[in-house]
Amino acid sequence: MRDSINWARLLAFVTGLVNQELLLQNEYLAAENRILRAHLPSRLRLSDPERCTLAEIGKRLGRKRLKQVACTAKSDTILAWYRRLIARKFDGSRCRAYPGRPRIESATEELVVRFARENSGWGYDRIVGALANLGHHLSDETVGNILRRHDIAPAPKRSQTTTWKDFIRRHMDVLAGTDFFTVEVLTWRGLVTYYVLFFVELESRRVWIGGITRHPDAGWMQPVARNATLEGTGYLKGCRYVLHDRDKKFCADFRDTLAAGGVSCVALPARSPNLNCYAERWVRSVKSECLSKLILFGESSLRRALTNFCNIITPKETIKARTTHYCLLEQDRQDLLAEGRFDARSDWVVCSSDSRSLAGTSLAPETDDT
């Protein structure tokens, strides 16, 4: 019994010595921190690892003891750092998947939008069937959500708002454009203005010269329309509509003659040359590539130049189908582009050299205009 009491006294003495040393160390560290704190700025910028270290130790000390020793920050701030540390440890939001089904691939979404815009009469179910044929399986609700995100109306409303571009694209094979342009020609009587009427097929972009005259009146326009709609030889065969501007030259006799041949005239709105863009672009091409480089004498010279130009200027959509010596091979396109004889913007290709293009054009004065 006495031995146990002695061991207890010895243990208490040793423990007291250890506690006294710890108290002295803490007192020294606290005094040193106060001295260093006085020489530092008023606010310390701590890094995240330093905040984590102080938060772990401060949690073990507790709020009451932390108030006595904390100098860097308040006790409430240090404990808030600890709560934030624990919340970050158990936060799995970065690895969390978004709820619901994954989003539709962008390529499939673009395909849905393309189907809806190019086919105004297709409903949700029709688009779903077309996508299934291509290997994309979507529901009609998904298709509807995609179209609503792109501000595309359902099929009944979409078919009621057809744009001019869609109308032209759908009826390209039965549409033709016509227009006039003027050419100044030298004659024995001086400079004379000639009116050239031409027709262009919108699908193949093939150009036909309807006629050349100095007086495009109703008596001249009627036989031109009759020749254009002749069965078998008329160059408007297969066309149902002809687009033209509101020029007074397109008189009632001209429209009635075309209507008798099964071709309806569509008068474009005023000041809208873009609605007959193929015809307007061909006028620019023939003037810049042909007429501006020639001095023409008489109507026959003008007619020969335009005829040769129409033969050697071929739409690039029909180049592969032509078998004449004006045919442009696909591998020669880059060479022509380098030589400046291929205009990708206008869709016209000069297939022959300058010597061949106007080989049959005569620049001598004609006797029929004297």
- pLDDT (tens digit per residue) in 268-308: 999 888 889 999 999 999 999 999 999 999 999 999 999 99
Measured CA to CA in angstroms, residue 109 lies from 118, 147, 348 at distances of: 14, 9, 35
Rounded CA-CA distance 241/332 in Å is: 36
Give which of 220, 209, 207 is closest to 183, Cα–Cα: 209
User: Which of 33-42, 121-130, 223-232 is least confident?
Assistant: 33-42
pLDDT digits (tens, 9 = 90+) for 20-75: 777 777 777 777 777 777 777 767 778 888 888 888 888 888 888 778 777 778 88
* pLDDT value, residue 129: 92
Strands 175-187 and 313-315: unpaired
Instruction: Identify whether the C-beta of residue 54 lies closer than 8 Å to the C-beta of residue 72.
Output: yes
Rounded CA-CA distance 176/173 in Å is: 8
Residue 104 has pLDDT above 70, yes or no: yes
Helix (H, G, I), strand (E, B), or coil: what is residue 117? Answer: helix
Report the predicted TM-score, pTM, of the whole model to 2 decimal places: 0.51
Q: Among the ranges 83-97, 154-168, 200-214, 324-338, which has the highest mean pLDDT value?
A: 200-214
Phi, psi of 72 (to 5 degrees): -70, -40
Give which of 236, 247, 245 is closest to 267, Cα–Cα: 245
* pLDDT value, residue 29: 72
**pLDDT average, residue stretch 183-207:** 92
- The average confidence (pLDDT) of the chain is 78
**pLDDT average, residue stretch 85-93:** 80
Instruction: Identify whether the C-beta of residue 221 lies closer than 8 Å to the C-beta of residue 210.
Output: no
Give which of 151, 146, 216, 144 is closest to 178, Cα–Cα: 216
Residue 328 has pLDDT above 70, yes or no: no
DSSP of 338-361 = HHT-EETTTTEEE-S-HHHHTTT-
Write out the two tokens for 121. 């009469």
* Residue 365 DSSP one-character state: P
Which residues are CB-contacts of 134 (< 8 A; sequence separation ≥ 6)? 111
Write out the two tokens for 36. 């260093």
**Which amino acid, one-letter code, is at 34?**
R
Give which of 319, 314, 342, 346 is closest to 330, Cα–Cα: 319
**Which amino acid, one-letter code, is at 352?**
S
The residue assigned the tokens 């750092």 is 81
Burial label for 242, CB within 10 Å (0-12, 13-18, 19+), is buried
